[in-house]
């Protein structure tokens, strides 16, 4: 199965590349587009915001859309933080996706999905990029779309809790998220 991973506002970094390797080891074909054309910043929100602004949202989404031409319409979409925003822009035009996972931030689930499509959201409780009302909007929109949502909320996790190079890292939350992602990929293949 094809899987596309969209990186965070820090650029394409080891956390996304390691995720791609882990998913490839499960037998999937993984595409990880570099939406910032090689530029990265350390795990600093202000620097990430500046980098994202300098590249420009239309360019970011355009590069992501170009990457989707390399995969099947059913490709699983996984976003890390800003990558979830990218998914939010493209998902309404990719309703055949087999599954979607939103890591570190929510987005709305569009209408027109296959009934029962697995959709996941994994966030740290209290994360300013995943306010409770947006988590509830994700759940509401998933249910209205006929998707099967799974929400992982982790009490001690920081924003980028999957990235072991940052102080936000939470090993237990990352392990629980990986367990859910592997289950989602198994379900999506059926």
- pLDDT tens-place string over residues 59-81: 999 999 999 999 999 999 999 99
pLDDT tens for 95-105 read 999 999 999 99
Q: Can you tell me which residue has the tokens 């309703």?
A: 95
Q: Between 45-55 and 57-68, two packed helices, what is the crossing angle to 10 degrees?
A: 80
Does residue 189 have a pLDDT over 90? no
Residues 6+ apart with CB under 8 A from 78: 3, 4, 5, 6, 19, 100, 101, 103, 181
Q: What is the pLDDT of residue 25?
A: 98
Q: Class for domain 2-189, per CATH?
A: alpha beta
Listed by start position, the domains of the chain span 2-189
- CB-CB contact of 154 with 172 (8 Å): yes
Per-position DSSP letters for 131-155, written without gaps between them: -HHHHHHHHHHHHHTT-EEEEEEET
pTM of the entire predicted model: 0.97
């Amino acid at each position: 199965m094809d899987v596309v991973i969209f990186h965070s506002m820090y650029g394409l970094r080891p956390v996304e590349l390691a995720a791609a390797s882990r998913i490839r080891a499960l037998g999937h074909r993984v595409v990880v587009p570099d939406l910032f054309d090689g530029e990265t910043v350390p795990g600093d929100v202000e620097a990430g915001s500046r980098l994202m602004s300098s590249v420009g949202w239309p360019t970011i989404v355009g590069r992501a859309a170009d990457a989707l031409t390399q995969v099947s319409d059913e490709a699983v979409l996984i976003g890390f933080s800003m990558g979830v925003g990218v998914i939010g822009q493209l998902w309404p035009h990719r309703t055949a996706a087999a599954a979607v996972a939103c890591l570190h931030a929510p987005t709305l689930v569009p209408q027109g999905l296959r009934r029962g499509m697995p959709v996941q959201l994994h966030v740290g409780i209290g994360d300013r990029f995943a306010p409770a009302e947006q988590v509830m909007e994700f759940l509401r929109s998933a249910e209205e779309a006929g998707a099967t949502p799974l929400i992982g909320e982790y009490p001690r996790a920081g924003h980028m809790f999957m990235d072991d190079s940052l102080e936000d890292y939470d090993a237990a939350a990352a392990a629980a998220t990986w367990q859910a992602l592997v289950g989602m990929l198994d379900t999506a293949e059926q």
